[in-house]
Amino acid sequence: MNKNEKPSFLRGKGAAVGIVICFVAVIAMVGAYTFNNYQSQINEQVAKADEQAENLTEDNGEDTTSEETTADEIVQPEADDGSDPASETETEEQMQEETMTEEQSEGNTESADDNAEAAGTASEAEVWFSEESTLTWPASGAVLIGYSMDQTVFFPTLEQYKYNPALIIGGEVGETIAASAAGIVTNIEETAQTGTTVTLDMGNGYTAVYGQLTDVPVAIGDYVASGEILGSLSEPTIYYSVEGPNLYFEILKDGEPVDPTNFME
């Protein structure tokens, strides 16, 4: 046997060692490849996670900005009007003063209404004519045609006999005619027979009618005291041209004529 030639079992052992080394190398390469691949996947996942985290952060930032903007918009009007607690207090005080002024005004109005109502009530209380009341003579002259509702009397101008529901009292044109008793003016009219005629409600169903007047200073609704001026005596109408200037003076009770002389002294 050649001295340089190795025994066969040594050659077999060396081959086995080589195979093992090759196998280990292959395993190492596979492991390295697997590890690198795994590491790459991990890195990709980490990058994705970081990217998602950044997106979430940006979204949260936008929401926060939006919320801040909304909050600013809500608060902004208060900043724009320059209001502060002091001015709000002044506004409340002004409102309170205005409310008090309105209440005082309403109170004054109510007081004025109450006073007017009281005055009206007092006037109405004074207007109360009765059978015991007295009438003052309303004109300066004498009776030209007397009251007559039970028989007819002669009317010179008309040249006929008629019933007369009033007193036809003579007078002078322009003389002052005063109220014979207190009353409230209920009517002022112009008629062909009695000219300008004023009617007074004397209360308790009694009414006084004054005809043949001019320059009447009163108005419907006025309270007229006894002796207060109702007007002046005018020229007579054509129904009394022969009788001359006269006052047509009629008294009614519940719409029916009564004799005025029954109430005169």
pLDDT, one tens digit per residue, over 89-106 is: 556 666 666 656 565 555
* 47: amino acid identity, one letter: A
Q: pLDDT tens digit string along 217-232?
A: 999 999 999 999 999 9
Cβ(167)–Cβ(261) below 8 Å: yes
Asked whether residue 149 carries a pLDDT value surpassing 50, the answer given is yes
Higher pLDDT, 27 or 6: 27
Q: What pLDDT does 67 receive?
A: 44
pTM to 2 decimal places: 0.56
* Paired tokens of 108: 């004054």
Q: Is the pLDDT of residue 180 over 50?
A: yes
| β-bridge partners, 229 | 178
Whether 28 shows a pLDDT value over 80: the answer reads no
Q: Is the pLDDT of residue 19 over 70?
A: yes
- Across 123-150, average pLDDT: 90
